[in-house]
Structure 1
């Protein structure tokens, strides 16, 4: 099972998530890196996990305090070959497209060698907590962006910004089972929620878990539920798990 590291951005810094209670997030203190700088932290997480994918939660955008367009542009330019999954509280396709265009414009303003023109791939993550238009996923798919749906949960209940079809018929090919109250909790992954969604998913759906991983035993338990990958932050920062580049649980 793949470990996908998580970068939470707020006020220009990487912060540590605490049970999805965003008012409690503080600049990261990590055993991997002695800074909360986004690029340095991203590189440390990717090296520690051996991953080629990085999940980014732009909390400034989610909390409507301003998206980190310039920071995201710098990450795109500095991490060629990496897939950046971006959750920025998108309500619809138009808001996603507008931020992507701002990031592209910020990339164009960077002072970088022409030979280093390769960019990280930016992938939109639409969270049920903020999504108001499910057709946004289809629009992003038609635009060639391979969107991801995050089904955001708290206390086992789905969080939604609007009424959503509770079937899996409209899900894209990649779906995250996000359990916000497990994030940064060291309480273990919410396997029951994941298993329920896994049973509901179509055969072609790739389901990714998020939240609660403490150690390699948790990774093994998560893999046993059929998860293809799991989003991890705290256990990487605290060196509770150590992944080789081709690691699987």
Structure 2
């Protein structure tokens, strides 16, 4: 099981995500260091997760603001061996194309997350996923049992790229365990896809259950910050 550490960025700081209630997010308090600065926290998270991949959720961009591009570039430069999965609220092909142009040579180290919550309609979804199928990841998002999916991505597994995130926002930071039922239902729709879970992991036992349910990787934040999960010692 691959651990993918997550940083949620808001106004230049790392915040603690809880149940997707973004208006209530506050700067992180972490056992890793006293700072909530992304350049301080990111290398420590990666070390604890034994990972060369960092998931960056830009909450400013996800809520309609500008992408925190300078921070993304600073992370790439500070961590030259690390690949970033970037959830920047991408709503159209043009937004991803513009990001890749701005990144230049760094674009090879950034994977755009195409999130179902950000796509407005089926045409936008199809164009994004077709144009960037080889290097994007689709995130299938839900909250409180409802799909966040105006474009209908859940109903069209033939649109999906090879890698798919199963994102249950209610589980994020909630310490309630991973949503394995949803993971299994998505796996049934596309058995050949590489599934990445998100939210709810409390410890190594949860990771083992997630792997048995078909997850090949999991996005993790709180359990790493709180010291309940340390892949350096747990063999995750």
Counterpart Cα distance in 2 of 1:55 and 1:40 = 15
Determine if contact 2:100/2:107 at 8 Å carries over to the other structure. no
Instruction: Report how far residue 8 of structure 1 moved.
Output: 0.4
Q: Tell me what 1:67 maps to.
A: 67
Counterpart-to-counterpart distance in 2, 1:178 and 1:80? 28
Is residue 6–residue 231 contact of structure 1 (8 Å, CA) maintained in 2? Answer: yes
Q: For the residues of structure 2 that align with 1:241 and 1:155, how far apart are their CA atoms?
A: 26
| Mapping 1:212-231, distance limit 5 Å | 212-231=200-219
Residue 119 (structure 1) shift: 8.2
Secondary structure of 1:178's match?
Answer: strand
C-alpha deviation, 1:163, in angstroms: 3.7
Mapped partners of 1:122, 1:247: distance in 2: 27
Query: Secondary structure, in 3 states, of the residue corresponding to 2:165?
Result: strand
The correspondence of residues 156-171 of structure 1 with structure 2, limited to 5 A, is: 156-164=145-153, 166-171=155-160
Cα distance in 2, alignment partners of residues 71 and 81 from structure 1: 17
CA contact (8 A) 1:20 1:180 kept: yes
Equivalence for 1:244: 232
| Corresponding residue number in structure 2 for 1:31 | 31
Q: What TM-score, normalized by structure 1, do the two folds share?
A: 0.88
1:138 aligns with 2:130: yes
Which of 166, 169, 178 is matched with 1:180 structurally? 169
Q: CA deviation at 1:244?
A: 2.0
Per-residue deviation, residues 106-131 of structure 1 (Å, max 9, x unmatched)? x9xxxxxxxxxx88710000000012
SS at match of 1:55: strand
Aligned to 1:93: 93
Q: Does 1:5 align with 2:34?
A: no
Instruction: Return the offset for 1:66.
Output: 2.0
CA contact (8 A) 1:86 1:122 kept: yes
* 1:170-193, Cα deviation, whole Å (9 max, x unpaired): 100100000001001011111111
Unaligned 5+ segments in structure 1 are 108-117
Higher relative helix content: 2
Structure 1 range deviating more: 93-102 or 36-45: 93-102
Q: 1:201 to 1:49 in 2, by over 3 A?
A: same
Asked whether the equivalents of residues 140 and 153 of structure 2 are also in contact (C-alpha less than 8 Å), the reply is no
Instruction: Report the TM-score, using the length of structure 2 for normalisation.
Output: 0.92
Aligned residues: 232
Tell me how far apart the structure 2 counterparts of residues 52 and 40 of structure 1 sit (CA, whole Å): 16
